[in-house]
Structure 1
């Protein structure tokens, strides 16, 4: 007797992965219409039927959350921003209190990294920490939303991606610390770090910093305060700090966009 066709048979005929077959048969928007139609046509030819019992089993909760870290250039081999490491204990405790396990891994940028955890039922939801260049990252967020993946991210609020975001008031933080330094008598400021849409959190910090200086009359309205660009690494911060020293720039207060930049700047000074 001929054995029943499986999703692996369809995948072989279609020249795609088994997970792609699974998504196509669920009408996932992550699979193009052309590929979905091709897979469904092959499924009909093979008289393939979805195993409802297996499907229901796969849809059971795993009682696990996936914490996915973005790889950051660091001075050691961890590739993890120390700020996110400091959050790990609190996240682990919160998941344990809710009766969940926590799976910690790195974000992978293969085509299906964003869907693999839920599709294979390794996790019921995803926590994203870090993102690199936000303009490039938006495509991944869009895919997560279209897949209807359960996820939360740490970062800046972005109206084009209305999903659940946990973060801090970066604008007010930048403004508060600048006002504090002004009260101490500092008048020559420079901001070190990204200040554009590629780094929205850093941009908000810069805007708070800039507005505080405008309010104090140090920067003219509609102008930008002194700014040295730097990516969020110790090495980049060190290079900026060294350049500031060598340039002889008159500066008595430096605001850094991130902790890694600050460590590098302090090392150079």
Structure 2
């Protein structure tokens, strides 16, 4: 294996000069940097990123922080797709992932603190965005770089997001124009999450503009015993509903199966997110607001490592 010592010997310079040249140190002339880099390429030199980062006191890993919860969010296909995007972008940068998952916010904060102190991680992606978050307070106190996927909670916070309010509005307009709906329902599970609230606000704006009556059904964040029966009872008393929008595909699948299996009704339904491995949520009257989570994950890495970039907005589409 070719080492920096081999390159330094071949170039007739010290090891420290060769190392600085390969790291574009400003005190090394551009001519020398070009010469050393050309030799490194010719000799097939492969840098040891782990050793380099440990020398600098930093791990070449990104800490990915999942929202806390009793039911592991790591199994959510939306988060899996985000991870795939993060990992793909990291490979080009010779980086790796380190994950923080916990049931409670206190455990999650301790997990992140351990990654900073023991793993020497200085870059984090939060797969959620909530105000007064103790994890964010910790990251700020430690002067650690981070980006949230969702709405920023401060003017100086880096973030990646969709325009959720516009997406909710367009989903509502689609129901009205495509299916000519006269009465609608919006189903959400966690309005504390800013993206759900904004999707609802956009949807309600579209309904108000078209003077179409609508209701909002707020379900628990986690599955409860006989929840589907309770929802089925609710839908039974709303037989005039002609269009439904759900904030994610898990809710969409539950609503769709209830309508199809128990109520024998075909109601146009638009779901945010799309789990492409799920073939049960499909039909002529089913549509998806595609948010492109892999693109969101890749964008989060770009925002983290580009000091000139503070945010990226990922476009959405509505498709079958």
Fold conserved between structures, TM > 0.5: yes
Gaps of at least 5 residues in structure 2 are 1-52, 260-320
Q: Which residue of 1 aligns with 2:114?
A: 116
In structure 1, distance between residues paired with 2:238 and 2:210: 25
Gaps of at least 5 residues in structure 1 are 1-55, 220-224
Deviations 1:66-123 (A, max 9, x none): 222235565xx77532211122221111011112112234156335333221222342
In structure 1, distance between residues paired with 2:219 and 2:54: 49
Could you tell me which of 85, 92, 99 is aligned with 1:90? Answer: 85
Alignment of 1:24-39 (within 5 A): none
In structure 1, distance between residues paired with 2:193 and 2:111: 22
Change (3 A) 1:59 1:182: same
Alignment of 1:216-235 (within 5 A): 216-218=210-212, 225-233=214-222
| Deviates further, 225-234 or 88-97 | 225-234
Alignment of 1:102-251 (within 5 A): 102-107=97-102, 109-110=106-107, 112-130=110-128, 134=130, 138-159=133-154, 162-184=156-178, 185-194=180-189, 196=191, 198-218=192-212, 225-233=214-222, 238=228, 241-251=231-241
Runs of 4+ in 1 over 6 A off after TM superposition: none
Larger RCO (alpha carbons 8 Å, 6+ apart): 2
Q: Give the drift of 1:232.
A: 4.3
**For the Cα contact (< 8 Å) 2:57–2:120, is it kept in 1?**
no
Change (3 A) 1:255 1:234: farther
Q: Give the drift of 1:242.
A: 1.2
Change (3 A) 1:204 1:248: closer
Q: Give the drift of 1:193.
A: 0.7
Q: Give the drift of 1:244.
A: 2.8
Q: Which residue of 2 aligns with 1:66?
A: 63
Q: How many residues align?
A: 202
**For the Cα contact (< 8 Å) 2:168–2:198, is it kept in 1?**
yes
Change (3 A) 1:139 1:62: closer
SS of equivalent residue, structure 2 residue 106? coil
In structure 2, distance between residues paired with 1:264 and 1:189: 17
In structure 1, distance between residues paired with 2:73 and 2:204: 34
Q: TM-score, normalised by structure 1?
A: 0.65
Q: Which residue of 2 aligns with 1:253?
A: 243
In structure 2, distance between residues paired with 1:172 and 1:237: 30
Change (3 A) 1:264 1:72: farther
Q: TM-score, normalised by structure 2?
A: 0.55
